[in-house]
Structure formats: structure tokens, C-alpha cells
Amino acid sequence: MKAMYVLALASLLYLPAKAQTFMTRNGKINFYSKTSLEDIKAENRQVVAAIDLSKKTVALTLLQKNFLFEKQLMQDHYNENYVESDKFPKAQFTGTINGNVGTTPGTYKVQITGNLTLHGVTKPVTAPAELEVAEGKVTGKADFKVKPSDFDIKIPSLVKDKIASEITVQVVATCTALSK
Amino acid sequence: MMAQDSSLMKMMDDAVAESQKGQVVTGTFKATQIVNLPTVESPGKKSLQFMIMHRFGKLNGGAYELFGLDNASIRFALDYGITDRFSVGLGRSSVDKTFDGSLKYKLLQQKEAGMPISVSLYGLITNYTQRYTDKPYLDARYRTAYTTQVLIAKKFSPAFSFEVVPSWIHYNLVPTPEDKSDLFAVSAGGRLKFTKRMSVNAEYNYLLRNQVVSTKVYDAISGGIDIETGGHVFQLVFTNAAGMVGPYYLAKTNGSWGKGDIYFGFNITRNFNFKK
């Protein structure tokens, strides 16, 4: 009797049998600023991302200093002058998945709605996304645009023509199942 | 929302905290020199820095010399980053018509956790080409001096950085037998940012006593303001040193702040990138 009790408890602890939570530490976020004077791009390959298919939620966290630019000086300016990484080291997004996502392998087009926190400012963001569900992993892809001015990022008039007023952000994160 | 799933949030935060630990601390200084003293910074890989260092005459020249503005000395320099940690430089000063070549290597880089300081090694060779008709024996070897500096810096906060530098200067020829040909100096300097793009800087270069005896020399004390705009850094400076490279500002500074031998000047740096 006692053994059965323990067994029942153990099985409860190991629920759900099929993993619904997926995570990665190596998600990728690129952003692009295109103007006639200068193209700027940066890449962060150390994005922590999580997708919960049962709750239909997603979360992303990254460190600003992990964005790599082609030019060292741009990277310094990004961290020191624009996003002020010493004061606001992280950028975060939490949101919900709207649309149909199955647990069977396949590609699902969805809409993601949530809040992006960047430079100490939180703003709602909505973006179309693609979720590729495969055995033991889910790949999330999304593109959206961000206005630096919405996040209180001031761009001095001297370089205004070199930095786009809308920055294109691309997210690709392949999250693997968490064995709980 | 995801926030309800606190264990997952904690996992994510831990993952971020873990990667933060290994991060290199950047932007200890804005420029590659505080005023004259080199900083631990160097141009990034494949980037070329062009620098103009300019010093007017002494302020105590009075109205006759327009408080020094009638006279000027200048140094042009090019520094190129071969890697993100190793750069080479070439320069030419009008003081003594001196050419210089330098190497800078970032030996240690301060990290968020584990490595508390940055250390760069700086080597500089100078050769002056000023003609002295009364000294025909001055050949290229006699005109050459070597400066080796260990640049030790720490960024204490986003606004405050401090650097300590032991220096060793070797002259192939000194004016009298009493003067030492190997000289040692210890410098300290720092910067304090007061806006995102501006900082006040100061440096003190202490030349150990009884090394230069044939002439009266003073410690080079300099201060200034850094203004950073995009790819440029402007430094407005006040200093008692006319020279802008190691053997000159460290061991040949004959101006005294007390007597008003103060040079106003500026350093301008501009970066060019060769990465597509």
C-alpha cells in the first residue's frame, strides 16, 4: 500500500510525461539599421529563450554587451551611449502565443504579443512568428521593428542620418525540451 | 504569462548571469592616451586611428605671445589594430623632429568576474632628427631612445577609471656622465565621466629623483576634458610638458606649473575602419 502511494506521488512529480517547455542559451538575435550613409548590423548569439507550449508563452533574455558589431567603435558606442549597458545590462521580452500550435511536428504560423523591456523602458510589441515543432525541440523565428525613440534612446543630431529611425530585429531560437 | 513559471525564469536569469561573468569590461578610457600617458585602450582589429596632438606655447608668454597661441608643437600619429589586442603605431613630433614607432599589447582584460584589472604592455622607440651642427658625432644610434611601460588600469565604475604606469626609459646617449641612461618613472592617471560623452582627465608622471642631474626637470602634470562625438575624440588639455612621447614628457619636462609654464593644447583622434 505504502509503495503504491510513493509510486503515485512519483508519477505526479514526473508529470507531464511529454515535455512542453523548451529552452536554449544560444538563441540568436540580429538587428539591422539601414540608411543611405551607413549600414549597421549586430548579432547576439547568447540569447536565452524559452517556449512553453502548454501555457503558450515565450520569454527572451539577453545581455546587451553580447551584441557583436563589425566595428569595435560601434559596439563601444552602442553600449556606452545608446543602450547604456552598465545601467541596463539586459533586454527582455515576455509574451504569449496567439494562434494554433500543435505538439505534432510541423510549422505553425502564429502571432506573438508581449512586452519588450530595453534601456529601462517597457513597451508592447506584436510580431508575426513561426514555430517549427520537431521531436524534442521547437524553433521560433520572428521579425519585428523597434524605434529607438520609443525606448528613450537618444541619438545626437550629428549621427542622426547614420542611424535608422526604425531598427529591424530578427530572432531565431532553437529551444530543446527541458527534462523536468 | 511566463512570470508565473518562476523556476523557468530563474533558470533563464541564471543562464544570463553565467554569461555575464565572463564578459570583458570595455571602455575603460575613451582614447588611447589620458593626455600624454598611453591608456590600456587600442584601436580594434582592422581599424586605423589618426591622431593629432597639438600644444600651443606657454601661457606665461603673456599678451605679447598671445598667451602661447603664437607658438605650437605638434605630433601626428597613426595607430592600427592588427588584432583586437595588438596594435602598432607610427608618429612624428615637431619637438626635436622626432619619429616614433610603438607596439601595444593587451595582456590582460578586466572582466565582470574573475579578472579585476586590465594590463597592456607598451613599447616605444624614438629617434630624433633635429640637426645639431655643433654635435657631428650624433648618429642614429645616439639619437635613439626606448620607452617601456606597463599600463595597469581598472574601471571602478562606469564613470571612474584609474591607471598606474611604471615606465622605464633607456637613452642611448645622455648629456653628461652623471645623467642616468636608464630612467624610471611612475605615473598615475584617471578619468571621471560627467556626461555620457564627456569626462575630466588628469595624469601625474613622477620621475624618480636624481636621475637627470645636468638640467632641471619637473614632473609632467596634465589635465583635460574628453569630448566624444561619433568617430572622433577631442581632448582639450593643459600640461607643463611640451613633449608628447615617453622620453620627452617623462624625463625632459622643463616647464613648471608654479611658474606658469603651462601649455594649452588638444588631441584629436579619428577612427577609420577597413572591415567591410
Report pLDDT digits (tens) over B230-272.
Answer: 778 999 999 999 999 999 999 999 999 999 999 999 999 998 8
Asked if the model's pLDDT at residue B202 lies above 60, the reply is yes
- Mean pLDDT, residues B96-111: 96
From start to end of chain B, where are the E strands? Answer: 47-58, 72-81, 86-93, 98-108, 118-128, 144-155, 160-171, 182-193, 198-207, 220-229, 232-239, 263-273
Angstrom distance (rounded) from CA A108 to CA B267? 58
Q: Do the domain assignments include residue B188?
A: yes
Asked if the model's pLDDT at residue B196 lies above 90, the reply is no
Q: Do the domain assignments include residue B7?
A: no
Name the grid cell of A74: 560601434
Domain that holds residue A126: 20-177
A6 confidence band (pLDDT: 50, 70, 90): low
- Mean pLDDT, residues A34-61: 91
- B267 vs A70: which has the higher pLDDT: B267
pLDDT at B177: 92
Q: Do the domain assignments include residue B38?
A: yes
- Give me the DSSP letters along A113-150: EEEEEETTEEEEEEEEEEEEEETTEEEEEEEEEE-GGG
- B182 vs A158: which has the higher pLDDT: B182
Asked if the model's pLDDT at residue A109 lies above 50, the reply is yes
Task: State whether residue A99 is helix, strand or coil.
Answer: coil
pLDDT at B19: 82
A87 neighbourhood in chain B, CB within 8 Å: 158
Asked if the model's pLDDT at residue A137 lies above 50, the reply is yes
B35 confidence band (pLDDT: 50, 70, 90): very high
pLDDT at B2: 45
Report the DSSP beta bridge partners of residue B223.
Answer: B202, B238
Angstrom distance (rounded) from CA A168 to CA A144? 6
- Mean pLDDT, residues B149-175: 96
B176 confidence band (pLDDT: 50, 70, 90): very high
A158 neighbourhood in chain B, CB within 8 Å: 229-230
Identify the CA nearest to B203 among candidates B213, B215, B191, B192: B191
- B5 vs B66: which has the higher pLDDT: B66
Asked if the model's pLDDT at residue B5 lies above 70, the reply is no
B44 neighbourhood in chain A, CB within 8 Å: 71-73
Asked if the model's pLDDT at residue A10 lies above 60, the reply is no
pLDDT at B60: 85
- Closest CB to B8: pick one of A50, A66, A76: A50
Identify the CA nearest to B39 among candidates B190, B159, B147, B144: B190
Q: Do the domain assignments include residue B19?
A: no
Asked if the model's pLDDT at residue A2 lies above 70, the reply is no
pLDDT at B237: 96
Domain that holds residue B80: 25-273
CATH code for the domain in which residue A85 is found: 2.40.128.110
- Closest CB to A52: pick one of B5, B23, B26: B5
pLDDT at B21: 84
Q: Do the domain assignments include residue A101?
A: yes
Asked if the model's pLDDT at residue A5 lies above 70, the reply is no
Whether B8 and A23 lie within 8 Å, measured CB to CB: yes
Q: Do the domain assignments include residue A8?
A: no
Radius of gyration of chain B (CA): 21
Residue A153 to residues A29, A148, A156, Cα–Cα distance (Å):
19, 5, 10
Sequence-ordered alpha helix ranges (H) in chain B: 6-21, 246-249
Which residues, other chains included, contact A145 with Cβ-Cβ below 8 Å and sequence gap of 6+? A166, A167, A168, A169
Q: Do the domain assignments include residue A72?
A: yes
- Mean pLDDT, residues B159-178: 95
- Give me the DSSP letters along B133-181: TT-TT--TTTTEEEEEEEEEEEE-SSSEEEEEEEEEEEES--SSTTS-S
First to last CA, chain B: 42
pLDDT at A19: 65
- Mean pLDDT, residues B77-94: 96
Distance from CA of A167 to the nearest CA of B (A): 19
Name the grid cell of A34: 539601414
Locus of grid cell 601595444:
B104
Q: Do the domain assignments include residue A40?
A: yes
Asked if the model's pLDDT at residue A180 lies above 70, the reply is no
Whether B273 and A25 lie within 8 Å, measured CB to CB: no
- Mean pLDDT, residues B73-96: 95
Distance from CA of A2 to the nearest CA of B (A): 30
Identify the CA nearest to B8 among candidates A118, A59, A117, A27: A59
Distance from CA of A81 to the nearest CA of B (A): 6
Q: Do the domain assignments include residue A12?
A: no
Average pLDDT of chain A is 87
- A56 vs A18: which has the higher pLDDT: A56
Q: What is the pLDDT of residues B46-76, one digit of tens each?
A: 999 999 999 999 988 888 888 888 889 999 9
pLDDT at B22: 83
Residues, chain A, total? 180
- Mean pLDDT, residues A79-103: 90
Is residue B146 within 8 Å of residue B167, measured between CB atoms?
no
Beta-carbon-side half-sphere exposure of residue B38 (alpha carbons within 13 Å)? 29
Distance from CA of B132 to the nearest CA of A (A): 43
Q: Does A37 contact chain B (CB < 8 Å)?
A: no
Output the pTM of the full model: 0.84
- B87 vs A165: which has the higher pLDDT: B87
Angstrom distance (rounded) from CA A93 to CA B24? 25
Q: Do the domain assignments include residue B130?
A: yes
Q: Does A152 contact chain B (CB < 8 Å)?
A: no
Q: Do the domain assignments include residue A6?
A: no
Whether B2 and A55 lie within 8 Å, measured CB to CB: yes
Q: Do the domain assignments include residue A167?
A: yes
| Chain center to CA of B154 | 15
Average pLDDT of chain B is 92
Q: How many domains does chain A have?
A: 1
Q: Do the domain assignments include residue B69?
A: yes
pLDDT at B1: 44
Q: Does A30 contact chain B (CB < 8 Å)?
A: no
A17 confidence band (pLDDT: 50, 70, 90): very low
Is residue B226 within 8 Å of residue B199, measured between CB atoms?
yes
Name the grid cell of B273: 575602419
CATH code for the domain in which residue B137 is found: 2.40.160.40
Q: Do the domain assignments include residue B133?
A: yes
Distance from CA of B27 to the nearest CA of A (A): 7
Q: Do the domain assignments include residue B267?
A: yes
Whether B196 and A158 lie within 8 Å, measured CB to CB: no
